[in-house]
Structure formats: structure tokens, C-alpha cells
Amino acid sequence: MRVAAMPRAVSMAWAHSIGLLAVLHTWGQNLMHHPHLHCVVSGGGLAKDESRWIASRPHYFLPVRVLSRVFRNKFRALLQQAFNRGKLGFYGELAALAKADAFRRFLDSATKREWVVYAKRPLGGPS
């Protein structure tokens, strides 16, 4: 939603709100630990005065690189916030991450590289 509100990043900076549905998967097809999100995002948004629907350009909505970086940084900030509030538990092999320095190093390692965002057109279209 934040990326959709960035005038330089999108073709519909006039939009007030977009629709979003996200599902968190924690495992990949091979049943190995692989946390990832599947999202369905509307192809447009309501005008700022909420009087009408404004569709995005046919082949462009959210720039993938910008979306990746904003999501990564927001995710990191919220994870750090949860850690600071004592909302995370670390057990077994992850127990060392309960220490602030170890957790910071973990976050640094996980967020210093580009995150993969794969975007494609929906399988179906509006009826």
C-alpha cells in the first residue's frame, strides 16, 4: 500500500487506496522452511475523493524493485519493533538470537541483499 502511495513510483499517484490480499506460506513445495508471501493486488485504486475507480496503466502498476525494497525495509522495522517489545521467542538452534547483538547481525545479514519480488498478470481478468 505504501508503494502505491508514492507518486514517483506508480502510474496512479492520484489513487487514495488500493486492494490487497496476502497469504503467508512458511514452507516451499519440497516441505523445507521457505517463508514467503502470495499477494493479490488490485489493478487500480479509488480516487482520493473516493468518487470513482481509477485503473492503472495496462502493463504497469507497481515497480518491482521499489516494491521489494520498501517491503524489505518495512518488514525489518516491524521485526525489530517486535524484538524490542519482547514479542519474539527463540528456541532450540535459534536461542542465540534472543541477544540484541545477535538479532541485529541476523537482520543485517537477511536484509543487506535484494529480496526477490516476482510479479505477474493475474490468471484471469475482470468479467
Q: Which of 48-52, 82-86, 123-127 has the lowest mean pLDDT?
A: 123-127
**Full-model pTM:** 0.68
Rounded CA-CA distance 48/31 in Å is 43
Residue type, 49: D
Could you read off the pLDDT of 60-115 as tens digits, one per residue? 667 788 888 888 999 999 999 999 999 999 999 999 999 999 999 999 999 998 88
Nine-digit cell at 72?
Answer: 524489505
**CA dihedral of residues 98, 70, 26, 114 (deg, nearest 10):** -90
Count of other CB atoms within 10 angstroms of residue 80: 15
Q: What is the mean pLDDT of the chain?
A: 82
Regarding predicted confidence, which is higher, 4 or 109?
109
